[in-house]
Structure 1
Amino acid sequence: MTLRALDGFAPLRGRAFRTLWLAQFASNIGGWMQTVGAQWLMLSLSGSAAYLAFVQSAASLPVLLFAIPAGVAGDLFDRRRLLLVCEAAMALASLALAGLAVAGLVTPWILLALLFAIGAGQAWSAPTWQSLQPELVPAEQRPQAIALGSVNQNLARAIGPAIGGVLIAVSAPSTTFFVNAASFLVVIVAVARWRERTRDLAATTLPREHALAATRSSGRYVAHSPLLKAILLRAGVFVFFASAVWALLPSVATRELGLGSGGYGLLLGCVGIGAVAGAVALPAVRAALRPERVLALGTVLVAGAAAVLAAVPVVAVACVALVVAGTGWILSLATLNSTFQASLPGWVKARGLAFYLVVFQGGNAIGSAVIGLLAARFGVTGTLGAAAALLALSPLIARLAPIPDITPDELRPAGDVPASHALATDVGGPVMVTLEWRARPGEAGALAATIAAGEPARRRTGATAWSSWADAEDPDRIVEQFVVTSALEHQRQHERMTVRDRARIADAAALAVGPPVTTHWTHAQP
């Protein structure tokens, strides 16, 4: 491993990554400033705690609604244009909110509607942003690039609210809306100047997928990938319990530590310091430990910090605990995110990542709501302590859902799998494909097991049904059978075969006499 691969800030030396990272940082600061301004404005408009809670819901709900179609768009369409459209839409919504606020025409529902529109723009751009930025750096720096994305968010969360509070104090909430609109313009300029290199996708001459078919294919890929499902489960459990720290931190600051808004800003700053420390430490930690253990380490750090916050109501101790929490948060998020992204082939990168965003954001939203209800019933410190204990135990899930070790090179397109020319791509209706194998003497059982091990790969790449059969009178004769929705989808199946899938077919071929006899079946016309 090179020294640069051990440098947590190495990705920032790349011009494209640095430019987009700084633009996103400005936008994140503007977003947090706007959140403070929106909360303050809502408080003055209604004074209702329910409406105040709706402010955060309006910003986060669009991710759950739009992340999957947004991921499809990120895979099928020009990413640069998609980002420009989303950023422009968010800038216009922020300007509209600012103008209406200056004119005194904002009502609670208008405020929520415009916040939802801005959140929708963020949801539509998020899968593309997350899948794009690691591609701007060499492969060995991608975990650091993903970690720096998390640092970006946490630093902005520490800085943005403080600046927003000052602007509101000296002017009005509308000022934060104008600043946020300007921050979107910074991103628009950065993206407009960026030129995308060739994407890491299999070369194709086939027509572009329809959106609905692309959505189904991404869901099918995730559903039949044990690796991705294991990561999603681990991410959901982690964020559900870890959300207790962020959900209850305002209550800890005010009720347990007796701090005001300035003190709360200090605590957020400690989280930001921890996030930077996590980004610095990540390369060395990854070099020393497997991803499973890095995730366990980060989880235990966050759990320990939560336990300290619950048990020791001392400001200095809380600051140290939050530095540790920020470090553990970055180690865990970067490990989950980078492992998930590295486990996705190029053709499904953005839409596969959308499932991760839905699970993560959904787990955070649901976890925060549940933690809040429990805190109201059992108290802040008791709930935080219980969440810390459960979070510390969560790495034990590795026994049920371990994260398999698959290298990104295994998920690259095989490239040497010939497409089927037996079918025209305009043949309608489902297609059944059969491969008739003949096992070498004494290898029938091994061949059947190897063929069966390839079922998830067939389903990930397009099969809607799969089965295998052995001839009752000739056990060495084994037939693999699967169904795809169309001849065109079967052609895509050839393009989506990875190096890992090709190796499984080679393993089967080593146990068989000659190549399989392949037959394509269409519906018989009466």
Structure 2
Amino acid sequence: MTVTDTPWTPLRNPVFRMLWLAVLASNAGTWMQTVGAQWLVVHEPDAATWTSLVQAVTTLPVLLFALPSGTIADALDRRRLLLGVQLGLFVVAATLTALAALDHLDPPLLLVFTFLLGVGQALTLPSWQAVIPEVVPHDQLPSASALGAVNTNLARSAGPAVGGLLVAQFGSAVVFGLNALSFAIFALVLLRWRRPSRPPTGHAERFGSALRAGERYVRWSPVVRRILGRVLLFVLPGSVIWALLPVVARQELGMGAQGYGILLAALGIGAIAGALLMPRARRLLSTNLMIVSTGLVYGLALLVVALVPHVIAVIPALVLAGLAWMMLVSRMNAAMQLFLPNWVRARALAIYQLVFAGGQAAGALLWGQFASAFGLDHAFATAAALMLAGLLLVRVWPVHTHENDDNTPAVYWPEPHLMYQPGLEDGPILISASYRVRPENVTAFTAAMQRVRGSRLRTGATQWGLFRDGEAPDTFVEVYLVPTWDEHLRQHEGRLTETDEQSEQQAVALADSPPTVTHLLAATTRTEP
């Protein structure tokens, strides 16, 4: 491997390095805050429920705001959006610090502030992940995407570890204050970054239609759907550790806040080891082998916590769990980054975060209630069984990442010239394309058109069909419905990719000539002038 091919090469880019370190500090501060919040309520009578509620309200905002945030990030200047959110988070975290220092923070009020911080994180994540391809060259994007996932998971493990040690020595107010400081640092870095001005790409997309376009893209992208499904199958049972580890430390192992910090440090060491092993694992293991390997390791770690509740066994198990969590989540996140085209990247990554955090929130609530009813050992054993059972689906539902697809924007459709010009919001629009296909090419043509179908539906169409003319059997007519003229123009102007163009060319090559295209406008669109 040459120097330019190393997984750490993007960190040589000063802008990426500066932003990466700022995000690491911010993410670590957020997880330190979570530890401080969980330890404040671990002494409550129903500790398992309270600690799981803290975890739930941390991630629940992603369910509510991630997709709108991703839509906004695709439409606005991502630097300014990130800067405004960090300043707001600083104010919230500073207020929380003051209340904790003055001992005016009861559990319900703590949950309110934790939720507000979660809202800020929901607004931050899609913008940050969508920014990565803007600051590194395209050939470094795989490494940069992986480093973005490494960042998140290092913070997820190392942040709580450091937070636990600080809580033991100084109390929760200190970690709340450090969290506020991390937001201030991120804001300062964003102020120093001068994002290059970009030429206008036309009129802004309306929020509602942009939201629906992002949802359609994910719905009609099998690659994205399978990545999301695999993440959910891993996170739902895997969240038992993040939700209940404070209770394990106190009730099962008899440890205080410092001991809890040691357990979290074990997770952090595992995550760092996973980051170091990722480049080699990526070369040696296919995506599906990575899924099976990490699932087995994580499931066995959960079984150790359930069946051998002793520090000498639990700490190595947590190291392995941190390693497996890092490697699986990093691989899935990088696969998303590499696959997504720029026009929908933030929205699709927001849906990824929605699934990820939603799985954690649902898992936290589930395992908190389960542990209260049946005990911690049964909760961890059941989670392990679910984790291992999910691996059985890999053979029948494998993940194909298509990392070699070219999602560079491709503007290859000719500009439509109509005698009757619709308004941007007029619709629906029915587009038809007629092909003449020789009998010997019919089977291959219809198969090729199925790939075209996916392209149309991902980029704006709501319905698609391929029909054969009964009076002229060699004539095939493709029809698809687009909600508005604006949606169709966006297909012309940048939503299609090089891979879409290749799929379309393969179908056209099987016809006798390029298709004849017509645009049918709704008769009730407008009154004639």
TM-score by length of 2: 0.90
Give the aligned partner of residue 297 of structure 1. Answer: 293
Where in structure 2 are the equivalents of 1:322-471 lying within 5 Å?
322-407=318-403, 409-422=405-418, 424=421, 426=423, 428-471=426-469
Letter in 2 for 1:448: T
SS at match of 2:512: coil
Q: Distance in 1 between matches of 2:316 and 2:453?
A: 50
Letter in 1 for 2:254: G
Residues 238-273 of structure 1, C-alpha deviations (whole Å, 9 max, x = no match): 101111233333343334333332222111111111
Letter in 2 for 1:67: A
In the TM superposition, residue 65 of structure 1 has moved relative to its aligned partner by 0.7
Q: Distance in 1 between matches of 2:286 and 2:343?
A: 27
SS at match of 2:519: strand
Residues 183-223 of structure 1, C-alpha deviations (whole Å, 9 max, x = no match): 21111111111233578xxx874311011111000000000
Residues 105-144 of structure 1, C-alpha deviations (whole Å, 9 max, x = no match): 6565544433322221111111112232465442241343
Give the aligned partner of residue 475 of structure 2. Answer: 477
Q: 1:102 to 1:270 in 2, by over 3 A?
A: closer
Q: Distance in 1 between matches of 2:450 and 2:109?
A: 56
Give the aligned partner of residue 221 of structure 2. Answer: 225
Give the aligned partner of residue 27 of structure 1. Answer: 26
Q: Distance in 1 between matches of 2:158 and 2:101?
A: 29
SS at match of 2:440: coil
Q: 1:503 to 1:208 in 2, by over 3 A?
A: same
Letter in 2 for 1:239: V
Determine if contact 2:52/2:244 at 8 Å carries over to the other structure.
Answer: no
Residues 473-526 of structure 1, C-alpha deviations (whole Å, 9 max, x = no match): 221111000111122211101221111211121111111111111000112258
Give 5+ residue unaligned stretches, structure 1.
none
Q: Distance in 2 between matches of 1:22 and 1:409?
A: 30
Letter in 2 for 1:388: A
Give the aligned partner of residue 14 of structure 1. Answer: 13
Give 5+ residue unaligned stretches, structure 2.
none
Q: 1:425 to 1:162 in 2, by over 3 A?
A: farther
Count of matched residue positions in the alignment of Structure 1 and Structure 2: 517
Determine if contact 1:425/1:491 at 8 Å carries over to the other structure.
Answer: no
Give the aligned partner of residue 204 of structure 2. Answer: 208
The question of 1:163 aligning with 2:162 is answered no
Residues 425-444 of structure 1, C-alpha deviations (whole Å, 9 max, x = no match): 62522111000110024223
In the TM superposition, residue 419 of structure 1 has moved relative to its aligned partner by 3.2
SS at match of 1:521: strand
Give the aligned partner of residue 252 of structure 1. Answer: 248
Give the aligned partner of residue 58 of structure 2. Answer: 59
Query: Which of 146, 158, 161 pairs up with 2:148?
Result: 146
Q: Distance in 2 between matches of 1:449 and 1:242?
A: 40
Determine if contact 2:429/2:520 at 8 Å carries over to the other structure.
Answer: yes
Letter in 2 for 1:481: V
Q: Distance in 2 between matches of 1:122 and 1:437?
A: 49
Residues 326-378 of structure 1, C-alpha deviations (whole Å, 9 max, x = no match): 11111100111111222211100011001111111111111222223333333
Residues 46-94 of structure 1, C-alpha deviations (whole Å, 9 max, x = no match): 8775666544443322111100000011111001100110000111112
The question of 1:93 aligning with 2:95 is answered no
Give the aligned partner of residue 519 of structure 2. Answer: 520
| Higher mean C-alpha displacement, 298-307 vs 47-56 | 47-56
Q: 1:33 to 1:16 in 2, by over 3 A?
A: same
Q: Distance in 2 between matches of 1:456 and 1:314?
A: 52
Residues 154-203 of structure 1, C-alpha deviations (whole Å, 9 max, x = no match): 211211232233222xxxx544433322221111111111233578xxx8
In the TM superposition, residue 387 of structure 1 has moved relative to its aligned partner by 2.1
Determine if contact 1:343/1:411 at 8 Å carries over to the other structure.
Answer: yes
SS at match of 1:410: coil
Q: Distance in 2 between matches of 1:262 and 1:514?
A: 73
TM-score by length of 1: 0.91
Q: Distance in 1 between matches of 2:124 and 2:46?
A: 31
Q: Distance in 2 between matches of 1:368 and 1:56?
A: 6
Q: 1:104 to 1:27 in 2, by over 3 A?
A: same
Letter in 2 for 1:390: L
Determine if contact 2:302/2:384 at 8 Å carries over to the other structure.
Answer: yes
Q: 1:57 to 1:314 in 2, by over 3 A?
A: closer
Q: 1:39 to 1:289 in 2, by over 3 A?
A: closer
Q: 1:408 to 1:333 in 2, by over 3 A?
A: same
Where in structure 2 are the equivalents of 1:61-140 lying within 5 Å?
61-101=60-100, 109-133=108-132, 135-137=134-136, 138-140=140-142
Residues 366-424 of structure 1, C-alpha deviations (whole Å, 9 max, x = no match): 12222233333333223322322331232222233222241354222123333323374
Letter in 2 for 1:328: A
| Higher mean C-alpha displacement, 241-250 vs 474-483 | 241-250
In the TM superposition, residue 308 of structure 1 has moved relative to its aligned partner by 2.2
SS at match of 2:465: strand
Determine if contact 1:31/1:160 at 8 Å carries over to the other structure.
Answer: no
Q: Distance in 1 between matches of 2:402 and 2:36?
A: 45
